[in-house]
Amino acid sequence: MKNVLLVLSSPRGDESYSHRIANQVVDEIRAGHPDANVVIRDLVKNPLPHVAEPFVSGRVLPAEQRNAAQAEALGLSDVLVDEIEGADAIVLAVPMHNFGVPSSLKAWVDHIVRPGRTFSYSKRGPMGLVEGKKAIIVVARGGVYTQGPMMSSEFQESYLRSVLAFIGIVDVDFVRVEGVAMGEDAIKIALAHAQSRVRDLVRDLALDRSRVSVRAAA
Ligand SMILES: Cc1cc2nc3c(=O)[nH]c(=O)nc-3n(C[C@H](O)[C@H](O)[C@H](O)COP(=O)(O)O)c2cc1C
């Protein structure tokens, strides 16, 4: 895990549970890999524009045929895709907003799902082009969506799982901080569960890595 991309999307800053737990993921990766390089893409401090006409028309043109507006739009998209391609692990901090992801994160998704860069069309249908990435997604939400009457209103992790798989990122683990609107005790329990899950996940990452190096050395 040399290179980590941390994507932040909560407008609640230091109060954010998803940021807090995602930062714990990064800290624990750093503890095991002091040389890890962490790139932070903060979608609230530096919001992305919605994709517009130059992006839509320019993305299907070869770079040399794009006009200035198309080149600028696709240039931004290239920066964001390069950040993904340069990462071994991608950590997303994702608050639930109205059953789904915040619009800041949706804008990021729109910039990174690119024909010819992150997916291609083949005879067997679309194919993801991003290979070998690990994603850890920290979701935070006021209610409970893993069981009970709200289950069918969960469009946050189901959406992210689908869209990441579409571009080829299939090794995805979720850390949930849920039920935070249900009082102080519920918050404490949700954070404790999430913190323990992060420790387990990062320990497994370290195990994976040592297995790989043993295999490589043999
Ligand atoms: C605009 C907005 C919409 C929200 N929509 C939902 C929702 O649909 N379901 C839910 O359970 N919680 C909802 N919440 C509560 C947040 O998910 C909750 O505060 C969570 O902690 C946000 O993550 P954060 O702490 O990382 O910002 C919403 C909060 C805001 C500000």
User: Dihedral angle at the C-alpha atoms of 25, 29, 32, 35, nearest 10 degrees?
Assistant: -150
Cα separation, 91 vs 87, in Å, equals 10
**What's the 203 CA to ligand 1 centre distance in angstroms?**
29
Other C-beta atoms lying within 10 Å of the C-beta of residue 172:
17
Mutation pick for ligand 1 pocket among 98, 146, 174, 188 (CB with most ligand atoms within 8 Å) = 98
The residue contributing the CA closest to ligand 1 atom 22 is: 95
**What's the 168 CA to ligand 1 centre distance in angstroms?**
28
**What's the 153 CA to ligand 1 centre distance in angstroms?**
13
Render each residue's pLDDT in the chain as its tens digit; 218 residues. Answer: 689 999 999 999 999 999 999 999 999 999 989 999 999 999 999 999 999 999 999 999 999 999 999 999 999 999 999 999 999 999 999 999 999 999 999 999 999 999 999 999 888 899 999 999 999 999 999 999 999 999 999 999 999 999 999 999 999 999 999 999 999 999 999 999 999 999 999 998 876 655 444 444 44
Pocket of ligand 1 (CB under 6 A): 10, 12, 16-19, 95-99, 140-143, 180
- Strand 134-141 vs strand 171-178: parallel, antiparallel, or unpaired? parallel
Within 13 Å of residue 69, how many CA atoms lie on the same side as its CB? 7
pTM: 0.94
**What's the 96 CA to ligand 1 centre distance in angstroms?**
5
